[in-house]
Amino acid sequence: MKLHQQFVRVAARERLAGNTVDVYWMWVDRFLRFHKRGDDWRHPRELRGGEIGVFLTHLAAEQKLSASSQNQAMGKTKVTHVESE
C-alpha cells in the first residue's frame, strides 16, 4: 500500500475532516520532497528527528514560516513517520 493510501486510512480512522487531511498531507508531501535526492525518494522510516529539524529550520529561515505553521508541520511529519513503521 502506498504511503498516501496509508495516510488517508489513518486519517479516516481518526475521523479527520477532508480539508484537514489535505492540509496535513501537504505538509508530509513538502517534507518528503525536501529530502528527495534527484529521482530517489526516501521512505519516512529513513527520516529521523535530525531530518525533521533540518526541514523546520528551512521553513523558519528560508520560508519565513510562522511558529504555529512550523508546529503543524512538525506534528504531521512525526505522525506520518510513526504510522509508516
Q: What is the C-alpha to C-alpha distance for residues 21 and 53, in angstroms, rounded to an integer? A: 23
Q: Please tell me which residue, 67 or 10, carries the higher pLDDT value.
A: 10
Per-residue model confidence as pLDDT tens digits over 58-68: 888 887 777 77
Task: Give the pTM.
Answer: 0.71
Per-residue model confidence as pLDDT tens digits over 18-67: 998 898 898 889 989 999 989 998 888 888 778 888 888 888 888 777 77
pLDDT over 70 at 80, yes or no: no
Q: What is the C-alpha to C-alpha distance for residues 30 and 17, in angstroms, rounded to an integer? A: 20
Q: What is the C-alpha to C-alpha distance for residues 76 and 31, in angstroms, rounded to an integer? A: 10
What letter represents residue 36's amino acid? K
As to burial, measured by CB atoms within 10 angstroms (0-12 exposed, 13-18 middle, 19+ buried), residue 44 is buried
